């Protein structure tokens, strides 16, 4: 494997993480509209979103098996196509049953694509002999921000159908082109004699921290726009800006994350980042105006941005003979937080209020800060 091939694969992965973020970001403006269209309360809508969690949680361990069988490159393409083609489903669903089914399929695409991308990222790191994971996740954050802003603008100016068509027209061809430059499937397939293994204690520890980190991100993704709309009585396109700028803060942090981790170490970086996340989120939830709330979301994003990439890297390095399986173990627990956290917020909001329920994410950030030493395996690069 040449350095040139690995470099091309790195930029192909940057594009792939960007596409993943665009698709997810473009879904954000539809979330409050879906809640209104389905005429569902916070608890019911939160449970409906649980279908997306179910699809991802089912797909992630299977993704680890498929990576060991076929290689991460092939799985990125297959799952990326699934994500693109399933994108319209939850948006067009007219009743809870069809929404749940569509969310289940899209969740499977999200989950399997995420595991495959991160596994291939570790393979590229090994070839380049330097960390790139934070940069890759930074590309996802840029995509999330761009997808949110573009999706909100298209929704406002052109309507639902045009937004769907334009987003897919951008992402589907880009996915096909990027896939041509991935490393060979042989780079990480068949490394282990067995395709499935239960997670180790170390994997579970990182996975639980990942659960909390991605619970925070997933909760902001699914509920920030609704919170902004209900608190400040703004349009859906304006309400989506909270998450959009949140992703912007995460992107800035992630593009500097590899440099910071090399110099400060994973544990100190994660501890500081978690504290920043907790403070920023608390301010956003108590801000008197939408502009202050959006600024606080940027600050919170700056903190959260580098936590998940470090945890993913650590997960892959805990099992060097089967990195896809190691990442799958950590990300499965992590994305249980990303996709199960929002329904839990919905249930808590039904009992209290949405703003109060979202303070659960502040507590989660503080717990990450306390147990930040668990991320030390990420420094074994």
**DSSP string for 201-216:** HHHHHHHHHHHHHHHH
pTM of the model as a whole: 0.76
pLDDT at 378: 67
In a domain, 194, yes or no: no
Tokens at 249, concatenated: 């803060």
Average pLDDT over residues 95-100: 90
In a domain, 208, yes or no: yes
C-alpha torsion sign, points 320, 322, 323, 327: negative
379/261 Cα distance (integer angstroms)? 8
Tokens at 343, concatenated: 């329904």
In a domain, 191, yes or no: no
CB contact burial 23-46 (16+ within 10 A = b; e otherwise)? bbbbbbbbbbebbeebebebebbb
Average pLDDT over residues 365-374: 91
C-alpha torsion sign, points 153, 155, 161, 163: positive
Q: What percentage of the chain has pLDDT greater than the value 90?
A: 30
- Residue 64 pLDDT level (bands cut at 50, 70, 90): confident
In a domain, 90, yes or no: yes
In a domain, 346, yes or no: yes
DSSP state for residue 187 in the 8-state scheme: G
In a domain, 192, yes or no: no
In a domain, 251, yes or no: yes
Contact 182, 73 (CB under 8 A): yes
Tally the domains of the chain.
1
For the chain, the C-alpha Rg in angstroms (whole number) is 19
Which of 314 and 207 is assigned the larger pLDDT?
A: 207
In a domain, 190, yes or no: no
Locate all alpha helices (DSSP H) within the chain, ordered by sequence. Answer: 3-27, 30-37, 42-70, 72-86, 88-92, 96-128, 133-157, 160-178, 201-232, 236-239, 241-264, 266-286, 290-304, 307-317, 323-351, 354-370
pLDDT at 237: 65
Query: Which of 19-23, 317-321, 342-346 is least confident?
Result: 317-321
DSSP state for residue 1 in the 8-state scheme: -
pLDDT at 360: 93
pLDDT at 241: 72
Q: What is the dihedral of CA 305, 306, 308, 313, to 10 degrees?
A: 150
| Residue numbers of the domain that contains 216 | 3-185+199-380
Give the CATH number for residue 49: 1.20.1250.20
Helix (H, G, I), strand (E, B) or coil at 218: helix
Residue 125 clears pLDDT 60, i.e. is over it: yes
């Amino acid at each position: 494997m040449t350095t040139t091939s690995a470099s091309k694969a790195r930029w192909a992965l940057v594009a792939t993480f960007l596409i993943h973020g665009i698709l997810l970001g473009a879904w954000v403006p539809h979330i409050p509209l879906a809640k209104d269209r389905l005429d569902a309360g916070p608890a019911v809508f939160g449970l409906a979103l649980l279908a997306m969690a179910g699809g991802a949680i089912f797909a992630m361990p299977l993704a680890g098996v498929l990576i060991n069988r076929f290689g991460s490159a092939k799985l990125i393409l297959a799952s990326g196509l699934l994500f693109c083609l399933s994108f319209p489903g939850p948006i067009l669903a007219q009743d809870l049953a069809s929404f749940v089914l569509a969310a289940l399929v899209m969740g499977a695409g999200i989950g399997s694509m995420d595991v495959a991308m991160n596994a291939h990222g570790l393979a590229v790191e090994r070839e380049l002999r330097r960390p790139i994971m934070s940069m890759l996740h930074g590309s996802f954050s840029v995509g999330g921000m761009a997808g949110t802003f573009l999706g909100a603008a298209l929704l406002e100016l052109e309507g639902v159908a045009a937004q769907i068509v334009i987003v897919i027209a951008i992402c589907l061809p880009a996915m096909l082109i990027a896939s041509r430059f991935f490393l060979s499937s042989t780079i990480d397939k068949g490394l282990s004699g067995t395709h499935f293994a239960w997670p180790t204690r170390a994997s579970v520890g990182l996975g639980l921290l990942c659960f909390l980190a991605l619970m925070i991100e997933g909760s902001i993704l699914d509920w920030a726009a609704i919170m902004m709309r209900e608190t400040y009585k703004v349009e859906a396109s304006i309400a989506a800006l909270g998450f959009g700028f949140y992703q912007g803060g995460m992107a800035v942090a992630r593009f500097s994350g590899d440099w910071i981790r090399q110099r400060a170490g994973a544990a100190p970086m994660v501890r500081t980042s978690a504290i920043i996340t907790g403070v920023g989120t608390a301010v956003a939830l108590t801000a008197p105006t939408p502009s202050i709330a959006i600024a606080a979301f940027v600050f919170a994003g700056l903190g959260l941005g580098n936590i998940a990439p470090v945890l993913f890297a650590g997960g892959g390095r805990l099992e060097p003979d089967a990195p896809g399986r190691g990442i799958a173990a950590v990300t499965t627990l992590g994305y249980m937080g990303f996709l199960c956290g929002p329904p839990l917020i919905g249930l808590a909001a039904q009992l209290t209020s949405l703003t109060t329920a979202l303070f659960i994410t502040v507590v989660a950030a503080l717990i990450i800060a306390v147990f930040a030493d668990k991320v030390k395996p990420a420094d074994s690069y």
